[in-house]
Amino acid sequence: MMIDTHCHLDDARYEEDLEEVLKRSWDARVQGVLIPGADIEDLSRAQSIAHRFENVFFAAGVHPYHHGQYDEKIVRDFLADPKCIAVGECGLDYYRLPEDSKEKEVEVAAQKEVFKAHIHLAKELKKPLIVHIRDANDDSKTLLLDEKASDVGGVLHC
Ligand SMILES: [Zn+2]
């Protein structure tokens, strides 16, 4: 069975031809499509797309670039939807850290906190994780092992 676990169909650029895009997936024998959460503002759009198409699902979470938007109550509410089948994307992204060492430290600590919160939620709700890692391999590995993310598993990218 072939599943696309990372398809940002909630992007406004797909608004016009969403049905055609999905038809091409089904024609290529993709049997399921998962829209990862990235920006908290876009989750309701992802949710409504998932409810329009039988084999489309979504995930709830915030991309590390948007860690400041993390709101556990909002993410939990989306995760209560049976079409919301994973937590994420979440993770660590050190590609564009601030130059200033103090600011950098604050940013890294904040990303780690929010990543941990996602892992805890995934474990509590027994849903897999969609993990985004960029230029942060060692810290991500440490955190995933320390928090026992393997209890729920998931996919890694970037
Ligand atoms: Zn990503």
What's the gap in Å between 53 CA and the centre of ligand 1?
23
Tell me the pLDDT tens digit for each residue of 17-67: 999 999 999 999 999 999 999 899 999 999 999 999 999 999 999 999 999
> What is the model's pLDDT at position 60?
98
What's the gap in Å between 63 CA and the centre of ligand 1?
7
> What is the model's pLDDT at position 111?
98
Q: How many CB atoms lie within 10 A of CB 113?
A: 11
> What is the model's pLDDT at position 22?
96
Residue spans of beta strands (DSSP E) within 55-124: 56-60, 84-93
What's the gap in Å between 158 CA and the centre of ligand 1?
6
